[in-house]
Chains A and B, each alone.
Chain A
Amino acid sequence: MVNEAEIRTFLEGAVNYFDVSARQPVAVGVPYLVTTGSPPVHDYTGIIAVSGRRNGAVCFTAPRSMLMVLLMRMNEPDTSDANMRDLVGEVANTISGNARRDFGKDFSISVPNVVEASSGPLPLPRDLRPVVIPLNWRSHSARLIVCLS
């Protein structure tokens, strides 16, 4: 499971992403451990599988309304579903990739897999407990889900 310092790595990655890409800060809520069931998700979730020194996944889940505004803040005029899916995967990829600054090169990450809320619970390892980091940006809520051995 991830420790407090490791959670901070992902939290700082999320803060940096919004500072740089959206040019508007994100407010981070209190991280919590999911003890039963699957973590709650929004409309789209980008999943990065992690292997190597650690195993598991890092996910970014967000509502369409937030992704649309985020695309506009990035000066991207195409706010189609395809670009929202692309964005949710790119956010997950960027935060996971940035984490290698602390985790090192053996923290191997996959290309993003994007799922919709309607496709059911996230495909996370059943023997690991996910940590949810709530993110609030403008009037929107999103979550970063870290599920690592």
Chain B
Amino acid sequence: MNALRMLRLMIVDDSNIIRRRIERSQQIDRLEFVGAAANGVEAISLFASTDPDVVTMDLTMPEMDGVECVERLVALKPELRILVVSALADKATAVEAIARGANGFLCKPFTDRQLNDALAELLQDV
């Protein structure tokens, strides 16, 4: 039986607390944290140097928002798995993020279990 390959995780959020929380709380054995960015511009730059397979993405951020960043990252790497982690709780925002290329949506605030369930679901066919 083939072992599942390790996947590189990048965290994008303008809140340091949330970045650290996701890094600390995620318990998916296959995920290896490779870096965090505080906005979309930083994320594009970090993406080039770390080549992540999985991204958690906030939406409301300075410089470049999450929806635009999702679109740009997916254009660079179509197989990228993106979990949007945002406080924006309306259905239209989730639908738009998915339409731009995100693969899942987790609403803030979230529990550790909700985070890990969302990540597990994101990766179930990878």
Contacts and interface: CB of A to CB of B under 8 A. Distances in A.
Interface of A: 16-17, 20-21, 71, 74-76, 78, 82-83, 86-87, 89-90, 93-101, 103-105, 107, 109-111
B5 interface: no
Main secondary structure on chain A at its contact with chain B?
helix
A95 B108 CA distance: 9
B39 to A, nearest CB: 9
Nearest to A93: B87
B62 A111 contact: yes
B96 to A, nearest CB: 8
A104 B90 contact: yes
A94 B87 contact: yes
Interface stretch (B18-26, B27-35, B47-55, B68-76): B18-26
Given A20-B111, A76-B21, A111-B62, A96 B14 contact: no
A101 B92 CA distance: 9
Interface of B: 14-18, 20-21, 24, 60-62, 86-90, 92-93, 107-111
B19 to A, nearest CB: 10
B87 A105 contact: no
Contact of A96 (B16, B17, B87, B111): B87
Given A21-B109, A76-B17, A83-B17, A100 B60 contact: no
Contact of A75 (B16, B24, B60, B93): B24
A101 B89 contact: yes
B82 to A, nearest CB: 18
A17 B111 CA distance: 11
